Amino acid sequence: MIALETIPLFQDFSKAELETVRVCLHEKSYEKGEIINQEGQACERVFVVQEGKVKLCRTSSSGREQTLEMLGRCDTCACNPGSANWTCPMAAQAATACKILYMSREDYGRLAERSSKFSHSLTRLFADRLVRFSSLIEQVSLNDVRKRLVKFLLDMLAKNKKGSQEGVLFIPFTRQDLAERLGAARETVARQISDLKRKKLIDIKPYQIIIRNKAALERLAA
């Protein structure tokens, strides 16, 4: 099991508090594409990603899927703790083969009621998620697909600087996955990627995008 003290949701917990959490957690593995939580159904558990990646997404009435967030190691789906009519606001699907730690809805609700540290962690998590979702709404509603794509690449570059070869982005998902994250058609995203490559702003290799002209990309994103 992952060291609980490394999970932001349990930040600043004492050893005794972490042990209380540990006995409530269960482990489960999923293959790529498997549904972990279903959108709109009663939420029976909250999970933390131990290995792999999980995408949080919603599906429109027309059937188009929009990826709202991609969860990696130590990230959580944690949301509303204890509403009487608590349902999952989005689906959680394994984006890769993954392993999660999950806690029942009842244990999660009790922990939120009894631990001020846990409540503070949730408040911080909700605030961070609100900022990300607000940014996503702005991108989808105000920016064209090219700007969304360029901003996504620059954001990845900023996050991946540590421990990565300069300018090289590891892309562990398909173009369809990328299109869903950008809220656009796969063909449109593919055209934009090809155009950026043609203009020598990026280069493409298997599972990689290489940033060749960061300054030019920043001008496109402005």
The pLDDT tens digits along the chain (222 residues) read 788 888 988 888 889 989 989 999 999 999 999 999 888 888 888 899 999 999 998 887 667 777 888 899 999 988 776 566 778 888 999 999 999 999 998 888 888 888 888 888 888 888 888 777 776 666 665 458 888 899 889 988 887 755 456 788 888 778 888 888 787 888 888 899 999 999 999 999 888 899 999 999 998 887
Structure tokens at 18: 């972490």
CATH classification code of 143-221 = 1.10.10.10
Architecture per CATH, 4-133 = Sandwich (2.60)
DSSP symbol at 210: E
| 8 A C-beta contact, residue 4 and residue 22 | yes
Question: Which DSSP string do the residues of 41-99 spell out, in sequence order?
Answer: SB--EEEEEEES-EEEEEE-TTS-EEEEEEE-TT-B----SS-TT-B-SSEEEESSSEE
Q: Where in the chain is the domain with CATH 1.10.10.10?
A: 143-221
| 8 A C-beta contact, residue 40 and residue 27 | no
SS3 12: coil
| 8 A C-beta contact, residue 5 and residue 13 | yes
Distance CA 94, CA 116 (A): 31
Q: Where in the chain is the domain with CATH 2.60.120.10?
A: 4-133
